């Protein structure tokens, strides 16, 4: 895109921004089921009570757009009818969504948008899905594009795959849009069948501990893991054409291929099979109000991610290990794609404060970083709020 123009200050006429509508677009947590979505497996995520807030207004032009991020203190403008080229940062999530809308024949008119985020970038709580889905939901409403919630989920995922170049699965966008307050979503990423699971954690809460590291290999290793899983499937498929993804492979079949698969690929596949089983077991434990069992499965998930799938990092492992001998912490694991970001912890309420202090002190001593402590609640997905017209 030749004519993208960035600006460091809010345009003057944004000072009294008379919005036509606002959108609240949440980040997400995932209780268990990591790196299973692109293997057509199961996940157990939810949107959270931390979000990106968008304000939109049409600007009465055919295709001129201005976006300003209060969080970054900068913005950019462009024309929708231009051919978009990849930019350096967060602009790509915006342009990716608009590119998808154009491809779908759902091109919006010109608009202005201000956004403000409560979601730390690189923390593994999917600020990117929140950005994509919030923009798509806002434009859908503003220009009557006639998109369903599922359309918004799918086009946002495609924006990330095709424009941003991250080969992500569907979990983040699905959770950001489809969640219901106080519930987790048990999602079958093959057919998108979903069940809302009441998230009653009794005397416990969900606590995110942000390592505040974000190792640069995250994107490339993510795509490598995906390719490794596909490699396993392509080998097994030769004799078993019914196998479409690792979701279709059971333990016995995998063992039969142990010799034919590279050791690393075998380990990755075993992790995915076991993690899918853990999601189902964890859902059962939650329904049976067995939080200790739920927590044990979280720890097992982390071990799989650390040793079999190898997407953790020393900072995440430090935090999980630090929790291990505390009987008031039921479960702890890295969350999201890995190589940094947050751990998610199931912890008894009365111990949150002193544990946060203790962990923060130890983490700072070890890595020289003050971690962020973020208490989260499962909350509703993307919400459009119509502003009262003056
Ligand atoms: C990232 C991706 F975007 C998701 O699709 C999912 O694969 C996750 O990593 C790992 O479970 O958040």
CA–CA gap between residue 307 and residue 232 (Å, rounded): 18
The answer for 262, left when phi > 0, alpha when psi is -120 to 50, beta otherwise, is beta
CA of 298 to the centre of ligand 1 (A): 16
Tens digit of each residue's pLDDT (9 = 90 or more) over 150-202: 999 999 999 999 999 999 999 999 999 999 999 999 999 999 999 999 999 99
Tens digit of each residue's pLDDT (9 = 90 or more) over 22-79: 999 999 999 999 999 999 999 999 999 999 999 999 999 999 999 999 999 999 999 9
315 lines ligand 1 (CB under 6 A): no
Which residue's CA is the closest to the ligand 1 atom numbered 5? 169
CA of 310 to the centre of ligand 1 (A): 14
| Same domain as 289, residue 225 | yes
Residue 193: the pLDDT is 98
| Same domain as 163, residue 24 | yes
Angle at 258 between CA 256 and CA 259, to 5 degrees: 105
CA of 17 to the centre of ligand 1 (A): 35
User: Does the active-site annotation cover 13?
Assistant: no
Residue 220: the pLDDT is 85
Residue 318 burial by CB count (10 A; 0-12/13-18/19+): exposed, middle or buried? Answer: middle
Distance of CA 388 to the CA centre of its chain: 32
- Split at pLDDT 50, 70, 90, the class of 88 is confident
Residue 280: the pLDDT is 98
Question: Percent of the chain having pLDDT more than 90?
Answer: 93
- Split at pLDDT 50, 70, 90, the class of 388 is low
Least confident of 126-135, 216-225, 289-298: 216-225
Domain boundaries, position 344: 204-376
Which tokens in the block code for residue 177?
A: 């849009």
Tens digit of each residue's pLDDT (9 = 90 or more) over 275-288: 999 999 999 999 99
| Same domain as 313, residue 292 | yes
Instruction: Report which DSSP code applies to 305.
Output: I
Question: Percent of the chain having pLDDT more than 70?
Answer: 98
CA–CA gap between residue 52 and residue 116 (Å, rounded): 6
Which residue's CA is the closest to the ligand 1 atom numbered 2? 168
126 lines ligand 1 (CB under 6 A): yes
Mean pLDDT of 302-311: 98
| Same domain as 212, residue 193 | no
| Same domain as 246, residue 139 | no
- Split at pLDDT 50, 70, 90, the class of 233 is very high
| Same domain as 213, residue 337 | yes
Least confident of 90-94, 211-215, 291-295, 377-381: 211-215
| Same domain as 368, residue 237 | yes
CA–CA gap between residue 268 and residue 308 (Å, rounded): 6
Find where tokens 């630090």 sit: 322
| Same domain as 176, residue 239 | no
DSSP for 190-251 reads TT--EEEEE---TTEEEEEEEEEEE-TTHHHHHHHHHHHHHHHHHHHHTT-TT--SGGG--H
* Ligand 1 atom closest to the CA of 30, numbered from 1: 11
| Same domain as 295, residue 183 | no
Which of 27, 35, 226, 316 most suits a substitution to test ligand 1, by most atoms within 8 Å of the C-beta? 35
Residue 215: the pLDDT is 78
Q: What is the pTM of this model?
A: 0.97
> Is residue 43 a contact partner of residue 37, using CB atoms and an 8 Å limit?
yes
CA–CA gap between residue 247 and residue 262 (Å, rounded): 19
Among 274, 262, 260, residue whose Cα is nearest residue 228? 262
Mean pLDDT of 343-348: 98
Collapse the DSSP code of 117 into the 3-class scheme (helix H, G, I; strand E, B; otherwise coil) and give the result: strand
26 lines ligand 1 (CB under 6 A): no
| Same domain as 142, residue 39 | yes
CA of 79 to the centre of ligand 1 (A): 31
Structural domain count of the chain: 2
| Same domain as 211, residue 189 | no
H-helix or E-strand containing 330? strand 329-334
pLDDT greater than 50 at residue 390: no
Which of 119, 305, 337, 342 most suits a substitution to test ligand 1, by most atoms within 8 Å of the C-beta? 337
CATH number assigned to the domain comprising residue 325: 3.30.70.890
Catalytic residue among 81, 172, 188, 248: 172
Mean pLDDT of 275-303: 98
37 lines ligand 1 (CB under 6 A): yes
132 lines ligand 1 (CB under 6 A): no
Mean pLDDT of 319-342: 97
| Same domain as 347, residue 306 | yes
CATH number assigned to the domain comprising residue 162: 3.30.230.10
Least confident of 3-17, 73-87, 370-384: 3-17
Tens digit of each residue's pLDDT (9 = 90 or more) over 121-144: 889 999 999 999 999 999 999 999
């Amino acid at each position: 895109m030749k004519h993208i123009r960035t600006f460091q200050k809010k345009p003057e006429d944004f000072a009294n921004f008379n919005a036509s509508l606002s959108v609240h677009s949440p980040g997400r947590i995932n209780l268990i089921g990591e790196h299973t979505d692109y293997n057509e497996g199961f996940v157990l995520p939810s949107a959270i009570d931390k979000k990106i807030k968008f304000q939109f207004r049409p600007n009465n032009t055919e295709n001129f757009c201005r976006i300003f991020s209060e969080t970054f203190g900068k913005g950019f403008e462009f024309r929708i009818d231009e051919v978009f080229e990849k930019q350096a940062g967060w602009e790509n999530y915006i342009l990716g969504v608009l590119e998808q809308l154009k491809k779908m024949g759902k091109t919006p008119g010109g608009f202005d948008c201000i956004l403000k985020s409560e979601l730390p970038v690189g923390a593994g709580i999917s600020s990117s899905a929140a950005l994509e889905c919030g923009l798509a939901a806002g434009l859908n409403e503003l220009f009557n594009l006639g998109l369903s919630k599922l359309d918004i989920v799918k086009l946002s995922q495609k924006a990330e795959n095709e424009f941003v170049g991250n080969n992500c699965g569907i979990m983040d966008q699905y959770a950001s849009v489809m969640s219901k307050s106080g519930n987790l979503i048990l999602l079958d990423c093959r057919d998108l069948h979903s069940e809302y699971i009441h998230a009653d954690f009794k005397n416990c809460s969900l606590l995110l501990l942000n390592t505040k590291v974000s190792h640069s290999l995250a994107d490339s290793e993510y795509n490598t893991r995906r390719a490794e899983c596909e490699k396993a499937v392509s080998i097994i498929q030769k004799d078993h054409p019914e196998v479409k993804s690792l979701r279709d492979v059971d333990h016995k079949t995998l063992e039969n291929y142990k010799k034919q698969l590279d050791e690393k690929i075998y380990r990755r596949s075993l992790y995915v099979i076991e993690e899918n089983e853990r999601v189902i077991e964890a859902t059962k434990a939650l329904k049976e109000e067995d939080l200790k069992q739920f927590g044990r499965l979280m720890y097992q998930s982390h071990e799989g991610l650390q040793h079999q799938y190898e997407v953790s990092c020393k900072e995440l492992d430090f935090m999980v290990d630090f929790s291990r001998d505390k009987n008031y912490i039921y479960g702890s694991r890295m969350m999201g794609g890995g190589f940094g970001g947050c751990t998610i912890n199931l912890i008894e309420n009365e111990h949150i404060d002193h544990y946060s202090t203790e962990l923060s002190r130890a983490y700072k001593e070890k890595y020289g970083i003050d971690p962020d402590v973020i208490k989260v609640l499962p909350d509703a997905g993307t919400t459009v709020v119509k502003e009262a017209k003056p």
